[in-house]
Amino acid sequence: MQVDIVVLAAGKGTRMRSQLPKVLHPIAGTPMLQHIVNTVAELSPLATHVVIGHGAEKVRESVLGEHLSWVVQAEQLGTGHAVMQALPNLRGDIALVVLGDTPLLKASSLKALLDSVNTQSYGLLTVESADPTGLGRIVRDANGNVQKIVEHKDATPEQLAITETNTGIMAIPRQLLEKCLPMLSSNNAQGEYYLTDLIELAIAEGLQIVSAKAGSEMEVQGVNNRVQLATLEREYQRQQAEAAMTAGASLADPQRFDVRGSLSVGNDVFIDINAVFHGECVLGDNVSIGPNCTFYNVVIGDGAEILANTVVEDARIDARATVGPFARIRPGTHLGEGSKVGNFVETKKTLLGKGSKINHLSYVGDAEVGDGVNIGAGTITCNYDGVNKHKTVMGGGVFIGSNSTLVAPIDIAAGAFVAAGSTVTNNVSDNQLAVGRARQRNIDGWNKPTKKDK
């Protein structure tokens, strides 16, 4: 069977109290709707038709995916009305209708639902709800066959006692939609066209109603306010923490750990509290992460140690390197095996060779640093002339004394020394000592400044 996806994402989300369309509010740094688009892509549909309304242009700009089709619902007149807008674009045998505000939905549940249906059946994804208040109830006959879905506001007292509820996710034959969507009525408490009313019409057409159950309530939980958004954020992060621990990481506190992208971990990794991982992050075996560290698109080699309060962005850190505490590793940095970047050091677009050290209080940018180099405290590479960036090159075994200023472009050859406090503006050859500081004068009889009367 060929499947079209229809994502309902037109609602304003009034209870969010926000100018941002509801489906763009983030879970783990990614819009809820993007989570859904990513999930349904695993099903390899013919197309994914996203029904948008409030903030339509902002939604279009913010969500990416293959085979996306945008459908505008100018008036939000219910779920049935939303699918009506998408109907002319559908080409598959089955339309799988999902909701744009259920970011924890799993592809496995959708696959189970699709496996249960054919062109002569109508599929529902249901869930057992501990508190079904406000949810549509699944009404079955004495043989367990689904008869209809009754919305909470339209339910009788007996129907309100039912705990099996509608998730809003359905797999519907396209031919049924073409025939029966025009037959829907808005004669109900909300004055809307309910997609759930198709159930009775499907039964009247002789279709079998089949169902699959979601794995948990959280998986199909929608978001209507910021409290629910925060609840799903913590559930998402709980799942990420469990995945990391299962893969070989020990977390000091799984409740203080955030993944806002993807994280791959090796064996015997330790992650202290308040670590945040953005983008694609890869940690090798025996990596140790200190408290309060933030990472953006990093690869960290075996045995590396990242100390407290360090930020690493778009960088590679090789095996057994040590970084921090309070270091900032900016994009384009590659720290070699066994290298060390200490406290209050910032690097940018720098290759730091094997065993080289920048221990503290330095800035090294646009630099190529060889193996076994020692860069003293307070050293800076002056890489920007106000218009262009320039490169600093240091050969193997170079020693840079504290409080040195290296004015790029400059080449300091292997084995050279730079005396503390120097400003170096010319290249330094192999094993030379560069001294670039003013001659000291000691003045006798110097009078200290005195405070003047106002």
Whether the upstream peptide bond of residue 31 has omega within 30° of 0, thus cis, is no
pLDDT of res. 446: 87
> Buried b / exposed e across 292-312, counting CB within 10 Å, b at 16+?
bbbbbbbbbbbbbbbbbbbbb
Determine which helix (DSSP H) or strand (DSSP E) holds 242, and give its type and residue range: helix 226-247
* Predicted local confidence at residue 154, as pLDDT: 87
What pLDDT is attached to residue 7?
Answer: 98
Long-range contact pairs involving 185-193 (C-beta distance under 8 Å, separation at least 24): 186/77, 186/78, 188/151, 188/153, 188/154, 189/151, 189/153, 189/154, 190/78, 190/151, 190/153, 192/77, 192/78, 192/79, 192/80, 192/81, 193/77, 193/78, 193/79, 193/80, 193/81, 193/84
Whole-angstrom distance, CA of residue 40 vs CA of residue 54: 22
CB of 324 closer than 8 Å to CB of 340: no
The CATH number of domain 3-220 is 3.90.550.10: yes
Compute the distance between CA of residue 416 and CA of residue 394 in angstroms, rounded to an integer.
Answer: 9
Q: What is the pLDDT along the chain (454 residues), one digit of tens a residue?
A: 899 999 999 988 999 999 999 999 999 999 999 999 999 999 999 999 999 999 999 999 999 999 999 999 998 899 999 999 999 999 999 999 999 999 999 999 999 999 999 999 999 999 999 999 988 899 999 988 888 888 888 899 999 999 999 999 999 999 999 999 999 988 887 888 989 889 889 999 999 999 999 999 999 999 999 999 999 999 999 999 999 999 999 999 999 999 999 999 999 999 999 999 999 999 999 999 999 999 999 999 999 999 999 999 999 999 999 999 999 999 999 999 999 999 999 999 999 999 999 999 999 999 999 999 999 999 999 999 999 999 999 999 999 999 999 999 999 999 999 999 999 999 999 999 999 998 889 999 988 888 888 7
Quote the DSSP letter at residue 129. -
Q: What phi-psi label fits residue 17: left (phi over 0), alpha (psi between -120 and 50 degrees) or beta?
A: left
> Quick check: 65 and 25 in contact, CB under 8 A?
no
Q: Where are the domains of the chain?
A: 3-220, 248-434
Give the ranges where 42-188 is alpha helix by DSSP (H): 56-62, 79-86, 107-116, 157-160, 174-180
Backbone region of residue 110 per phi and psi (left: phi > 0; alpha: psi in -120 to 50; beta: other values): alpha
- Give pLDDT, residue 275: 98
Hey, how many other C-beta atoms are within 10 angstroms of the C-beta on 119? 12
Note the pLDDT of residue 61.
96
Cα separation, 207 vs 147, in Å, equals 11
Cα 27 from Cα 230, distance rounded (Å): 8
CA–CA separation, 418 and 87 (whole Å): 73
Q: Does domain 248-434 have CATH number 1.10.1660.10?
A: no
* Residue type at position 85: Q
Q: How far apart are CA 449 and CA 127, in angstroms?
A: 81
- Strand pairing category for 294-300 and 334-335: unpaired
Residues in the chain: 454
Q: Which two tokens mark 250?
A: 């020990």
In this predicted structure, what is the pLDDT of residue 47? 97
Q: Round to whole Å and give the CA distance between 294 and 312.
A: 6
Which of 177, 183, 33 is CA-nearest to residue 95?
A: 177
Helix (H, G, I), strand (E, B) or coil at 365: strand
Catalytic residues: 360
DSSP state of 426: S
Amino acid letter at 450?
Answer: T
Shortest CA distance to 93 belongs to which of 117, 62, 127? Answer: 117
